[in-house]
């Protein structure tokens, strides 16, 4: 199907409902960041864990972040209630059900094993629990799911290497590795050897870079770690040569608008630099990052972004949705099927 570039048949009023109804892929979601306060309290009760918050409301009230680190402190405390395989299964299943309601048809979920193994939880418990929910989501929701193991960059490379070795018995259950946690002061090159080892294993490679950290971190994620996607990457605009390279090499950027506002990367959505990223020809995708903490799931990110930035067009919406499939780590045939579905939704113009 050949689609008109401007979609003149799609009115502004239709665009938001079209965004909600369109098939989409989510490529940047930390599964521990999908833990809602209600589930945190339920798991704490089940596992006899006392939280430093009196109730759900008190916990939610703590979600006032000033930067990435202030969020991570609360996020790691929330993840401490996860003990059994059933807990990891319950967390992931809740996200999959919620994502399916946003018409997510494919997701690549990050998980942070070191957050759990450091508390004495076995690697197998984490991966088997997530895998069980993923298989159920594929069977019952028709959702395509892949797992990506992330290394915590505030820890040492030796810890990351040991983590990768501990995960290799489950190699068939995850498709790639990523790099997350506190960005400033922990440049990608700190993890050169562990990414090389992951590459030897045929794993896909991604890394958070240019969220709070400088453009130099994006360069080194590309050149030293040899990643295929950049998570966030919004600070690339400070370096025109870097922007030119990202555009030339069609490197996907997994941008997370509500996260960027909650973590004070931008003052509000109306000031987000996403229009500039698109204008530079970058392969931008929209994602939720940590939806339970940042006030919205994937459709909330799309809708609030388009409400706040009236210059974004139906063509921009189509481009970013298409990028989500093309930037994913699935077979070309699967990508083509989803793009065809997307095309028919946009050709019709009404959900
Ligand atoms: N936005 C983010 N940046 C870095 N590490 C994270 N871990 C969970 N969310 C993150
Ligand atoms: Zn992230």
Determine the distance separating the centroid of ligand 1 and the alpha carbon of 179, expressed in angstroms.
9
Mean pLDDT of the chain: 96
CB 290 within 8 A of CB 33: yes
**Res. 351: pLDDT tops 60:** no
- Would you state the pLDDT for residue 12? 81
Q: What is the atom index within ligand 1 of the atom nearest the CA of 112?
A: 7
pLDDT tens for each residue of 92-136: 999 999 999 999 999 999 999 999 999 999 999 999 999 999 999
**Atom 5 (ligand 1) nearest CA:** 181
Q: By C-alpha distance, which of 211, 202, 241 is closest to 223?
A: 241
DSSP 173: G
Q: Would you tell me how many other CB atoms lie within 10 Å of the CB of residue 201?
A: 12
Average pLDDT over residues 131-152: 98
Q: What is the largest CA-CA distance in the chain?
A: 58
DSSP 8: T
- Would you state the pLDDT for residue 310? 95
Give the binding-site residues of ligand 1, using a 6 Å CB cut-off: 30, 33, 68, 75, 180-181, 208, 211, 259, 289-290
- Would you state the pLDDT for residue 11? 84
CB 44 within 8 A of CB 87: no
pLDDT tens for each residue of 298-342: 999 999 999 999 999 999 999 999 999 999 999 999 999 999 999
Residue entry with tokens 């199907």: 1
253 strand-pairing partners: 230, 284
CA angle in degrees (0–180, nearest 5) for 324-106-333: 80
Q: Using CA atoms of 342, 344, 345, 346 in order, give the dihedral in degrees to the nearest 10.
A: 90
Q: Quick check: is 211 catalytic?
A: yes
Q: 232: annotated binding-site residue?
A: no
Domains in the chain, CATH or no CATH each: 28-346 (3.20.20.140)
pLDDT band at 350 (very low <50, low <70, confident <90, very high): low
CA angle in degrees (0–180, nearest 5) for 77-122-28: 55
**Res. 208: pLDDT tops 90:** yes
- Cα separation, 104 vs 288, in Å, equals 12
- Would you state the pLDDT for residue 6? 72
Q: What is the CA radius of gyration of the chain?
A: 19
Determine the distance separating the centroid of ligand 1 and the alpha carbon of 260, expressed in angstroms.
11
Q: 154: annotated binding-site residue?
A: no
> Bigger pLDDT: 347 or 56?
56
What is the DSSP track for 301-344?
A: HHHHHHHH-TT--HHHHHHHHHHHHHTSSS-HHHHHHHHHHHHH
Residue entry with tokens 């799309």: 302
- Would you state the pLDDT for residue 4? 61
pLDDT tens for each residue of 216-266: 999 999 999 999 999 999 999 999 999 999 999 999 999 999 999 999 999
CB 164 within 8 A of CB 126: no
CB 323 within 8 A of CB 252: yes
pLDDT tens for each residue of 276-285: 999 999 999 9
Determine the distance separating the centroid of ligand 1 and the alpha carbon of 133, expressed in angstroms.
22
Q: Identify each DSSP E strand in the chain by its residue range.
A: 24-30, 104-111, 144-152, 176-180, 204-209, 229-232, 252-255, 283-286
Q: What is the atom index within ligand 1 of the atom nearest the CA of 180?
A: 5
- Would you state the pLDDT for residue 3? 67
Question: ipTM of this model?
Answer: 0.98
Instruction: Go through 158-190 and write b for each residue having 16 or more CB atoms within 10 A of its CB, e for each that does not.
Output: ebbbebbebbeebeebbbbbbbbbbbeebbbbb
Residue entry with tokens 């088997």: 128
What percentage of the chain has pLDDT greater than the value 70? 98
Average pLDDT over residues 334-351: 90
- Would you state the pLDDT for residue 2? 62
**Res. 185: pLDDT tops 90:** yes
What values do phi and psi take at 4, rounded to 5? -65, 145
Distance from the Cα of residue 350 to its chain's centroid = 28
């Amino acid at each position: 199907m050949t689609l008109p570039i401007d979609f003149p048949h799609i009115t502004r009023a239709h665009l938001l409902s079209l965004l909600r109804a369109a098939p989409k892929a989510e490529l940047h979601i930390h599964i521990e960041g999908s833990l809602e306060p209600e589930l945190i309290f339920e798991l704490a009760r089940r596992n006899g864990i006392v939280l430093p918050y009196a109730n759900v409301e008190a916990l939610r009230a703590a979600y006032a972040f000033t930067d990435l680190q202030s969020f991570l402190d609360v996020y790691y405390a929330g993840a401490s209630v996860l003990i059994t395989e059933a807990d990891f299964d319950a967390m992931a299943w809740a996200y999959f059900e919620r994502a399916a309601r946003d018409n997510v048809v494919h997701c690549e979920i990050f998980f942070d094993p070191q957050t759990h193994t450091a508390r004495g939880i076995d690697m197998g418990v984490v991966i088997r629990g997530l895998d069980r929910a993923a298989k159920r989501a594929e069977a019952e929701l028709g959702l395509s799911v892949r797992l990506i193991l992330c290394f915590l960059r505030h820890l040492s490379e030796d810890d990351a290497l040991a983590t990768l070795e501990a995960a290799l018995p489950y190699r068939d259950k995850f498709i790639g590795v990523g790099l997350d946690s506190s960005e400033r002061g922990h440049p990608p090159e700190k993890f050169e050897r562990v990414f090389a080892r992951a590459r030897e294993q045929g794993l896909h490679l991604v890394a958070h870079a240019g969220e709070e950290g400088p453009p130099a971190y994006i360069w080194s994620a590309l050149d030293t770690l040899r990643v295929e996607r950049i998570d966030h990457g919004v600070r690339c605009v400070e370096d025109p040569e870097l922007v030119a390279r990202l555009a030339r090499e069609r490197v996907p950027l997994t941008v997370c608008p509500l996260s960027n506002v909650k973590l004070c990367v931008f003052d509000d959505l109306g000031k987000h630099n996403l229009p500039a990223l698109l204008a530079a020809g970058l392969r931008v995708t929209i994602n939720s990052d940590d939806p339970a903490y940042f006030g919205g799931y994937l459709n909330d990110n799309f809708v609030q972004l388009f409400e706040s930035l009236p210059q974004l067009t139906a063509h921009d919406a189509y481009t970013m949705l298409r990028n989500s499939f093309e930037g994913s780590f699935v077979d070309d045939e699967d990508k083509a099927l989803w793009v065809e579905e997307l095309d028919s939704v946009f050709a019709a113009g009404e959900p």
